[in-house]
Chain A
Amino acid sequence: MTINMLIFLFLAVVAIAAAVGLILSRNPVYSAMYLIINFLAVGVFYLVLGAPFIALAQITVYAGAIMVLFLFVIMLLGAAKPKEVETLKWQRPLAIVLAAAILLEGLYALITRISITVTTTAPDAALADPKTLAQLLYYKYSLPFEITSLILLVAVIGAVVLTKKAVKEEVK
């Protein structure tokens, strides 16, 4: 068993435990904290897979910016934890059964399609270089890059418009 295997197993256990905690915890604030742990574990895993830029972007953008947004909204709405009333009795068991079906299907495809002998490669300095990523992003994928900037602009305007309308109505 190599050191990489140990790191992977540890991170996998942490990530899965955090995901389970996210689903089970009653308080949304705890859910957000569990999600941050999950993001950090996966971010470290990106480092092992030779993607340092993505790993740091994951930590700053996901675990940083997006989760701050989540926590901000949770605090804004009051960290109230109303009791979740069950309106459809069969929904919960059905959800678990269906998700288990998807899980088994995916794991079956994984076992039959991908050989266990195929291993990941050691991080390559040339591939991990942000310069390589930037060249690909700004030359080969320059049009999608522009489109994503448009998506961000629309999202910013949309968020402002959506929340502003309600304020106007309250003033009237």
Chain B
Amino acid sequence: MIPVAFPIGLAIILFCLGIIGFIVRKNAIVIFMSLELMFNAANLLFITFANQFQQVDGHVFVIFIMVTAAAEVAIGLAMIVTIFRGKHSVDIDQLASLKG
């Protein structure tokens, strides 16, 4: 089998790509997708360690993370739709109304 370090390294790389996407992109929908990428990297870590320590608890936590991600996406996309109705844009740089 493969060394445990490889999937962990893949998770780290995916997480960092998610961070880059989250900060660099201006489209709110793409930002949410980058967030999903980071959730996915965390899930990969859970599954890898569940495999290494032969414990199923990691799988349970992955299920919880999936539920949380689904809830977050539902709320987030509802917010994006609401913002789009008011501003006619999903560019987060346009959303500076709270700046004071």
Contact = CB atoms under 8 A, between A and B. Distances in A.
A148 B17 CA distance: 28
Instruction: Name B's interface SS.
Output: helix
Nearest to A109: B12
A77 interface: yes
Nearest to A13: B10
B78 A159 contact: yes
B1 interface: yes
B100 to A, nearest CB: 17
A107 B30 CA distance: 26
Interface residues of B, number: 71
Given A66-B69, A132-B56, A23 B12 contact: no
Contact of A22 (B26, B34, B86): B34
A22 B21 contact: yes
Interface in B20-68: 20-21, 23-27, 29-30, 32-34, 36-37, 40, 43-44, 47-48, 50-52, 54, 56-57, 59-60, 62-64, 66-68
Interface class of chain A by DSSP: helix
B10 A12 contact: yes
Interface residues of A, number: 86
Nearest to A31: B30
Contacts of B5: 110-111, 114-116, 118
A131 B48 CA distance: 20
A159 B74 contact: yes
Contact of A12 (B6, B48, B70): B6
Contact of A51 (B12, B34, B50, B91): B50
20 contacts: A8-B6, A16-B10, A22-B33, A23-B24, A38-B14, A42-B14, A45-B44, A49-B47, A49-B48, A50-B51, A54-B47, A61-B66, A70-B73, A73-B29, A84-B27, A118-B4, A121-B51, A127-B56, A148-B64, A162-B82
Interface of A: 2, 4-5, 8, 12, 15-16, 19-20, 22-23, 28, 31-32, 35, 38-39, 42, 45-46, 49-51, 53-54, 57-58, 61-62, 65-66, 69-70, 73-74, 76-77, 82, 84-85, 87, 91-92, 95-96, 98-100, 102-103, 106-107, 110-111, 114-122, 124, 127, 132-133, 136-137, 140-141, 144, 148, 151-152, 154-156, 158-160, 162-163, 165-166, 170
